[in-house]
Structures are given as structure tokens and as C-alpha cells.
Structure 1
Amino acid sequence: MTTPVTRKLGRAALFSLVRGACWALGSALMAGIVWWVQHQ
């Protein structure tokens, strides 16, 4: 039994989760590049 509100909340949660994962991945990538450049 899924109401439209529950579906909307689920979609928002999924979107924020994906955005958070992308942000974490981007941050890790930037940190890795900075570290790599400093240790050349």
C-alpha cells in the first residue's frame, strides 16, 4: 500500500542519497588529485 506522498518522499530520499554519493565521490576525487599533485 503506497500512497503518492510515500512515493514522493521515497523519490526525494533516493535523490538526496544519490546526490550525497556523487558529492562524496567528487570530494574524494579532488582530494586524490590534490594529494597526487603535491606528491609528484
Structure 2
Amino acid sequence: MVLLFLSAGWLGSLVVLAAGYAAIVFFAHRPLHNPRRPVP
């Protein structure tokens, strides 16, 4: 039973870490605002 709880906690922590990493990668490449282009 303890092994089951430890395995579930380990798997849950991996899911949380993977989701955090994916969020960082997704938001790091997304521009915060759309700058205007200069008019020639």
C-alpha cells in the first residue's frame, strides 16, 4: 500500500513538473505585445 502511494505521488509530481515546463516553453516564445511597425 505504501508503494502504491509513493508511486502515485511520484507520477503526480512528474505530471506537475511536465505541465510547468510546457507552460514555460509555451509562454517564453509568445510575444507579450504586438509592436506597431514603423510607417515608411
Give TM class, smaller chain: 0.7 to 0.9
2:30 aligned partner? 39
> Which has the greater radius of gyration?
2
Letter matched to residue 38 of structure 1: H
Q: How many residue pairs end up in the alignment?
A: 31
TM-score (ref. length: structure 1): 0.74
Unaligned runs of 5+ in 1: 1-9
Unaligned runs of 5+ in 2: 32-40
Letter matched to residue 35 of structure 1: F
1:21 matches 2:12:
yes
Letter matched to residue 14 of structure 1: F
TM-score (ref. length: structure 2): 0.74
**Structure 1 runs, 4 residues or longer, greater than 3 Å off:** none
Larger fraction in helix: 1
Of all paired residues, the percent bearing the same amino acid is 16
